[in-house]
Structure 1
């Protein structure tokens, strides 16, 4: 039995591959630099599997052309979803009738009550004479008369009791026995089923100016912020039935957003608290949209540091302002001294060696600084 050794092409010199006898499967190693898989026998899993099959070698991937293993990817951060209201709870129009139908039904009920009174003979004689009605054939309050009274009373109560006046910018959320039946956004005289429970909702564009709320600046210092929120109720069913108090929920969402978005007081900076307005608007609008609220803007009106650090920040701002002023003045003085010395030497008015030049620069600097200090 002979064993041969085959050599690779010139591109892979020094990397021989050993071939065993015919019929035996060679032990494969790394073939070349472009290998992307390395068979690795699991040394600690020699036992066969539960079904008697031998263990399979693990395949470890690596980057092409290198011996580096791929880096383990970080698991994606799990974002907690926002609380969602019942998806089936959506605003839909309620069934209502024009107010003329309620007035007609109420008038019919009153007319029926008068007719039942005439039939029972209890209508006053003056009314009978004024209406020119004949005398009833069988006067008296019997079961038929009481039934007529009940029917006329129910018709009149339903007709007049269901009348409602719809106003622009207002809506009613109506329900029957705890079940949502729709929303009434129509205006004018309407007739609504008197058995329905009505909840009035303001759907106009509204604004809310908050009190001073706690926040933080980009450096983590405590800030007191006053914000102006422009909003309205978009889905009345979710805002009224999905939340206990949608106005309180909006205030708490604004406070939570201020705890996450830094607000910088407008002191010596361009924009100041208005820089955080867009971030606050996006954050609050995303959190309140599932609750049926539509937020148009959240604008910080005023931002100031908390009382316990306001004095320290004031001193820091004054010191920074003075430092900038001194730096500006020194730069101006140096430019003036340089220009003066350059003109004197280039025009040949004076001839100065190094020591005389240093003395002249020092004297000019002192003179210019003293003059600018007096003017300041």
Structure 2
């Protein structure tokens, strides 16, 4: 017995258009969201989605976009907080002279007592009697050592302080103080002395490379007025404070000049937002350099650019560009003046009733007057 099974024909499937991108995906949107009447809507922040490129699909990768992070201030240079300038203990120069004289006199008397003083010296002195000639014994050697040490310490510790100079003293690696006194004084000869110039100083830099906000290469010369305020930090807290100041100026110069363009088109009316405003540039540069140099004991009074020019490799191009901009501005000014003159002439002729012109005649008159004015000025060729 055979059973016949009738097969119902399947409905034809609607062909779906081919995907343009192989990894295409669709998302269903609920219908009730399309007809919401709520006025207040809740904004949900969406994190940026990053899709990598897949081989063979032809899909272009998306750029990774992240939220801009909080700008953090630059950390200030840190120096040992205990390293602060303090006055050193010194004695007047008279004390050193007296000690040295006593040491020399003690050596002479010891030599006379031992009988080793030359006869010529005895004859020259005139007041010394004949030496007892006791000979050099342990006691006399000890007297020699004491008198010699006193003389060396007395004369060896003499130093001369000058106006605008200071001595930074150190003993066995420890800071012992700073001497800012002037004149003759006595300093312990065992300490290490470092002379520091504390006068107001001017430093003119060599042409430093920099770029403006448009990336144009520049050469800038800066004049810095500064002095050493804390000798301990400037000498012991950093290896070379002059080289450190140069690097601070170069870094601050790069930060300040990169914010503004070197020049603006001649037609622009605002000139303050460029590097031509040397007063604002000097103020920003001084503030940055002073903040960087203060922790190491340097006081910066002013840092101002004395010359800002284009780098040699772009100077010729920028000069031609400037000349072209000036020429275009001049031409625009001349054309505006000609158009105003033609308009004023046609308006006066018409309003006074000297001529009655239709549109064609008006256009012809405007053309003739324009040609005449431009030819008379000799600035624009028709």
The two structures share one fold, judged by TM-score above 0.5? yes
Q: Which residue of 1 aligns with 2:98?
A: 104
How far residue 366 of structure 1 moved from its aligned partner, in angstroms, is 1.1
**Distance across 2 between alignment mates of 1:241 and 1:273:** 38
Aligned partner of 2:346 among 328, 341, 345: 341
Q: CA offsets, 1:170-216, max 9 Å, x none?
A: 11111001111011111111111100100111111112211221111
Given the two structures, how large is their TM-score scaled by the length of structure 2?
0.75
SS of 1:231's equivalent in the other structure is strand
Which range moved further: 207-216 or 159-168? 207-216
Structure-2 residue corresponding to 1:95: 89
1:149 matched to 2:144? The reply is yes
Relative distance call for 1:266 and 1:156 in structure 2 (3 A) is farther
CA distance in 2, matches of 1:227, 1:264: 18
- Is the 8 Å Cα contact of residues 273 and 302 (structure 1) preserved in structure 2? no
More off after superposition, 108-117 vs 193-202 = 108-117
Cα RMSD (Å): 2.7
For residue 9 of structure 1, what is the aligned residue in structure 2?
none
Aligned to 1:14: none
Whether the 8 Å CA contact 2:331–2:380 is kept in 1: the answer is no
Q: Map residues 1-376 of structure 1 onto 2, 5 A cutoff.
A: 68=42, 76-129=70-123, 130-137=125-132, 139-262=134-257, 264-265=261-262, 272=276, 274=278, 275-373=280-378
Cα deviation, 1:249-274, whole Å, max 9, x if unaligned, reads 11111111122112654787676262
SS at match of 1:215: strand
**DSSP 3-state at the match of 1:272:** coil
Q: Secondary structure at the match of 1:153?
A: helix
User: Does the 8 A contact of 2:331 with 2:379 survive in 1?
Assistant: no
Which gives a bigger RCO, structure 1 or 2 (Cα 8 Å, sep 6+)? 2
Long gaps (5+) in structure 1: 1-64
Is contact 2:113-2:133 (8 Å) kept?
yes
Report how far residue 325 of structure 1 moved: 0.5
Are residues 264 and 276 of structure 1, via their aligned partners in 2, closer, same or farther at CA, if it must alter by over 3 Å? farther
When the two structures are superposed, what TM-score results if normalisation uses the length of structure 1?
A: 0.76
C-alpha deviations, 1:213-261, integer Å up to 9, x for none?
1111121222121111111111111111111111111111111112211
Contact 1:264–1:303 at 8 Å: present in 2 too?
no
C-alpha distance in 2 between matches for 1:176 and 1:336: 87
Q: Which runs of 5+ in 2 are unaligned?
A: 1-38, 47-66
Q: Distance in 2 between matches of 1:302 and 1:78?
A: 32
